[in-house]
Structure 1
Amino acid sequence: MKKPFVSLERLQAITQQYPTPFHLYDEKGIRENARRLKAAFAWNPGFKEYFAVKATPTPAILKLLHEEGCGVDCSSLTELMLSDRCGFSGSEIMFSSNETPAEEFELAARLGATINLDDFTHIDFLRETLGYIPETISCRFNPGGVFQLGESKEGFQVMDTPGDSKYGFTRPQLFEGFKKLKELGAKRFGIHAFLASNTISNDYYPALAGILFQLAADLQKETGCKVAFINLSGGVGIPYRPDQPENDIAVIGEGVRRQFEEILVPAGMGDVSIFTELGRFMLGPYGCLVTKAVHFKHTYKEYVGVDACAANLMRPAMYGAYHHITVMGKEDRPLDHVYDVVGSLCENNDKFAVDRPLPEIELGDLLVIHDAGAHGFSMGYNYNGKLRSAEVLLEEDGSTRLIRRAETPEDYFSTMVFD
């Protein structure tokens, strides 16, 4: 059973100050999770987590993670600007972009970010843009084909198709690219890859590490390039459903360490730093969307209308993704009603839940939609003229702080030209 990180009484008090809907984040949970990750990879002296800014581009959250020793992974001009304004600099910033405009490479270079190239043709583009190749450079690897991880002890099977992905170098391109980059002045090299998304398996990261560690050993041996770091990227998931097991980051870290000892150490590469680039794992469970039941509809189905909509949390509408819902104050009541929980967009996919067993919902009940801390607010939009909601931080001492105000109609109209 998923439990909210906030009580009904505390939430009722919060809603007196901040009208629903809003996104609420748990500072205590975020900090504790960041420390668990750091401890799991403490065996690697150069380890660093580069939080994926796209998951939760909120200054207060980024600054909190900075305090916990995290860097940031950026993929756009404004994400670079945001990270700079939040105090990240130099090697604390990883820039992983694709189809990249010249101005974005220029800003990344000015900030001293580590540039992670997505394509072989970008080598010449980067050199033409900057007039040089940075001494530290990274390249993204795509092995092609299908990545499959057999059923693990958690009972979860991982399958994804890198061959259908638009990202990364092929293996031959990577070897040729490293040689070319070295000739152009690069001295320290990194490898990055992302093969599967939201895996509920302690085996994924070690399996990926084995692939990348062997690749790094082969690259260094054949090209003479010094591989300084290997970025395992993201893909470590969270259990959106209450019956799914949680990943154990300590077990995952130990699995990566074993691959490191078996592959890199014998190759004389025991000084390679391990980087991660987690978004969902870092923030997902520690944020929720708080909304209120405002309407009921009794037609061919039973509908509960809430004051949030897909513009506040797109994943269910876009992917059919499951997000658990708690009716606050009714956690222990029987799930003896079946509802579609819907928003007010003029789109039939604006549904947070379909045929969901829940306790009886009454007008004014507060609903917590779980696991919205990553790829929640950040994917919001203004369709139907909907306004983005506020973001609120539940601080470690139990107090709350507004970390993003709700949009107003004035914000919505501010970019429009009526003349």
Structure 2
Amino acid sequence: MKKEPFVTKEQIEEIVKTYPTPFHLYDEKGIRENAKAVKEAFAWNPGFREYFAVKATPNPFILNILKEYDCGCDCASQTELMLADSQGFDGKHIMFSSNDTPAYEYKFADKIGAIINLDDFTHIDFLEKTIGKIPETISCRYNPGGVFKMSNGIMDNPGDAKYGFTTEQLFEGFKILKEKGAKNFGIHAFLASNTVTNEYYPMLAKQLFEVAVKLKEEVGCHISFINLSGGVGVNYTPDQEPNDIRVIGEGVHKVYDEILVPAGMGDVAIYTEMGRFMLAPYGCLVTQAIHEKHTHKEYIGVDACAVNLMRPAMYGAYHHITVLGKDNSVCDHKYDVTGSLCENNDKFAVDRMLPKIDMGDYLVIHDTGAHGYSMGYNYNGKLKSAELLLKEDGSVQLIRRAETPKDYFATFDCFDILKNMKDPEK
């Protein structure tokens, strides 16, 4: 399977006249089509809602596109809660899924009416002392431990994860929460990351549905929603078959009818909180080749670095690369594609077979729409790039400007560093 960029060389050449590389570019048409497909895939469940994982792409322009499809926001910090609140998402459309949570964040979540998803048994008392009550609607994150196995082998190891209640804690926690006044309960679990298979959600749903039935029968709690969280991945490599969200939705529907409906729980809403699946394929990092180095290996130096996309350096993650204008050329050159950080892992590709790259060529690094810009940082004094939206009509909108040296120095309150500084080139 070939990965095709959603932007052409001619379009990029026009864009860079206004916005120099590197920059993150998002595809509005793709985002909308995917959001619509997700909504349709779970239309069988009247209460369904996708709570987009804000951490993946925390940009108000993106959030407002998703809002048109009744998506909510899954937030993990006060700043993300503030972003969601500022864009007009009401409490029912905000899920607060945090861990090791400071008291002030719980207070703010309660203030805006967000649904609080507790990560730990001890947070029951902590939350009550912090906000003076237990909300009527509350959710708990479940971690059954052990390993999560699928037909293609072990996918992940929940037992090593820092998140969630054990099975025993979940049942005791629901009992305590009910005694303290909670009336509507949610169950949340995230047991595997970036699964490229249509069976993950249905398998997870079966496990959670069975637990939900037991909680209803043994504790007498009203389970109002079950949050399948994230974990539905994307095909970063061209040889992978992408997930089919409609097949996934029908798989969840099947186990819903098999387990929840016979137990008299056919009113349970299904929630998801996908970040990667919602956005990753609809964003790319555009960068330009500026140096080539011939030593023990062949290197191509680009004007982006791990500051702009951390995943390859941090995880060794694969991101496909297209050399614009050479999409159909033979990939007969082996390169390491590198950035300029003082770190040897600052590489977007290692021993990657690509067409011959000439200085000035534009490279599209695919699937950066989630956990791309958002994981950026300022090591080596590097500045974060702009974010652009390729709109459906072909025009381009700046949705976050690039950082400047003034931004970098702004937090040095006791120094006026810029006063005696010469103007930088960029």
Q: Which residue of 2 aligns with 1:58?
A: 59
What residue ranges of structure 2 are gaps of 5+ in the alignment?
416-426
Which residue pairs with 2:236 in the alignment?
Answer: 240
Structure 1 residue 186 displacement after superposition: 0.3
In 2, distance between residues paired with 1:146 and 1:90? Answer: 34
Taking the TM superposition and a 5 Å limit, the aligned residue runs for 1:271-286 are 271-286=267-282
Secondary structure at the aligned position of 2:331 is classed as coil
- For 1:154, the equivalent position in structure 2 comes to none
Residues 58-137 of structure 1: matches in 2 within 5 Å?
Answer: 58-137=59-138
Q: What displacement does 1:417 show?
A: 4.2
Assess if the C-alpha contact under 8 Å between 1:158 and 1:199 holds in 2.
Answer: no
State whether residues 210 and 259 of structure 2, in contact with CA within 8 Å, keep that contact through their aligned partners in structure 1. yes
Look up the match of 2:336.
340
- What is the correspondence of 1:20-35 to structure 2 with a 5 Å cutoff? 20-35=21-36
Whichever residue aligns with residue 333 of structure 2, its letter is H
Match status 1:380 vs 2:376: yes
The answer on 1:287 being equivalent to 2:283 is: yes
**Deviation string for 1:178-216 (max 9, x for gaps)?**
010001000000000000000011000000000000000
1:8–1:328 Cα contact (<8 Å) kept: yes
Partner residue of 1:302 out of 298, 302, 307 = 298
d(CA) in 1 for partners of 2:317 and 2:240?
Answer: 14
- Whether the 8 Å CA contact 1:158–1:196 is kept in 2: the answer is no
Q: Do structure 1's residue 10 and structure 2's residue 11 form an aligned pair?
A: yes
CA shift for structure 1 position 89: 1.3
Paired amino acid for 2:75: C
AA at the equivalent of 1:18: Y
Residue 40 (str. 1) matches residue 36 (str. 2): no
**Pairing 1:404–2:400 present:** yes
What is the correspondence of 1:309-348 to structure 2 with a 5 Å cutoff? Answer: 309-348=305-344
**What is the rounded CA distance, in whole Å, between the counterparts of 1:59 and 1:318 in structure 2?**
26
Contact 1:188-1:227 within 8 A present in 2 as well: yes
Deviation at 1:87, TM superposition (A): 1.4
Contact 2:147 2:154 in 1 (8 A): no
**Deviation at residue 309 of structure 1 after TM alignment:** 0.1
Q: Deviations over 1:37-86 (max 9, x none)?
A: 00000000000000000000011111111112100000001000011111
Letter of the structure 1 residue corresponding to residue 245 of structure 2:
I
The answer as to whether partners of 2:21 and 2:288 remain within 8 angstroms in 1 is yes
CA distance in 2, matches of 1:217, 1:359: 56
Count of residue pairs the alignment pairs up: 414
Instruction: After TM superposition, give the deviation of residue 17 of structure 1 in Å.
Output: 1.0
Match 1:166 to one of 150, 158, 162? 162
Secondary structure at 1:266 match in 2: helix
SS in 2 for 1:191: strand
Q: 2:144 aligns to what?
A: 143
Gaps of 5+ in 1: 152-156
User: Shift of residue 254 of structure 1?
Assistant: 0.4
- Quote how far apart the aligned CAs of 1:150 are: 1.4
Q: CA deviation at 1:418?
A: 4.8
Query: Partner of 2:183 in structure 1?
Result: 187
How far did residue 158 of structure 1 move?
4.7
Equivalence for 2:418: none
- 1:339 alignment partner AA: Y
Correspondence 1:179-258 to 2 at 5 A: 179-258=175-254
Asked whether the equivalents of residues 23 and 390 of structure 1 are also in contact (C-alpha less than 8 Å), the reply is yes
Q: TM-score, normalised by structure 1?
A: 0.98
**Paired letter, 1:376:** G
SS of aligned partner of 1:138: strand
Q: Is the 8 A contact 1:287 1:372 kept in 2?
A: yes
Q: Distance in 2 between matches of 1:140 and 1:105?
A: 16
> Residues 116 and 138 of structure 1 are in contact (CA less than 8 Å); yes or no, is this contact kept in structure 2?
yes
Taking the aligned partners of 1:46 and 1:236, their CA distance within structure 2 comes to: 20
1:355-370 aligned within 5 A: 355-370=351-366
**AA of the residue aligned to 1:91:** K
Q: Deviations over 1:229-263 (max 9, x none)?
A: 00000000000000100001010000000000000
**RMSD, aligned CA:** 0.7
Q: Name the residue aligned to 2:411.
A: 415
2:262 aligned to 266, 284, 294, which one?
266
Q: Which runs of 4+ in 1 moved over 2 A?
A: none
Determine the C-alpha separation between the residues in 1 that align with 2:133 and 2:12: 54
% identical equivalent positions:
71
| Aligned-pair CA distance for 1:143 | 0.2
